[in-house]
Amino acid sequence: MNSNLSATLQTLNKSFIVIGYGNDLRSDDGIGPRVAQEVEAWGVPNVKSLALHQLTPEIADTIKDVDGVIFVDACQLPDVQEVQVLTIEAEETGKSMTHNVDPRSLLALSQTLYNSHPHAWCINVPAVNFEMGETLSPVAEQGVFQALEKIDFILRQQTHH
């Protein structure tokens, strides 16, 4: 993380939150929390991060006042071989708002409760090992690095809008 980004974000007074979620006791499922912890270590004043086990409805209150939110999660799909960045919109999923809330439904809940929601991105990081353990596979480690690069890019891009 270079100081240029920090200075630019302070100047433009935009705020961002990176929410990494997953179970860090299930090997690669801990990708999201690991990315959130790394972003926190950057120490950029207008960029906060949350490392969570899972998304919950209460997070709608956390995201209502930020300009942008970036969700990061492990992804175990055969067609996902590299880190994906998707711009997402609020969308009712029809799921109950008790467990396993997804990013789109959180945006929709923020819109419903507070009449606003931030710009949002979802970063899916390839994962191959979900066995018990706290160590990431080499695939996941590389994905964490790439996810951090993508977050840096998003933040830089948003400072120019």
Q: What is the pLDDT of residues 141-160, one digit of tens each?
A: 999 999 999 999 999 888 76
Q: Determine the average pLDDT of the residues in 51-55.
A: 95
* 3-class DSSP state of 104: helix
- pLDDT confidence of residue 76: 85
- DSSP-derived pairing of the beta strands 119-126 and 84-88: antiparallel
- Residue 94's pLDDT band, with cuts at 50, 70 and 90, is low
Instruction: Provide the percentage of residues in the chain whose pLDDT is more than 90.
Output: 71
In the block, residue with structure tokens 């964490």: 144
**Rounded to an integer, what is the distance from CA 110 to the centroid of its chain?**
16
Question: How far apart are alpha carbons 50 and 29 in whole angstroms?
Answer: 15
Question: How far apart are alpha carbons 100 and 49 in whole angstroms?
Answer: 19
- Residue 26's pLDDT band, with cuts at 50, 70 and 90, is very high
Q: Which long-range contacts (CB under 8 A, 24 or more apart) does 10-15 make?
A: 10/45, 10/46, 12/159, 13/46, 14/46, 14/67, 14/68, 14/158, 14/159, 15/46, 15/47, 15/48, 15/65, 15/66, 15/67, 15/68
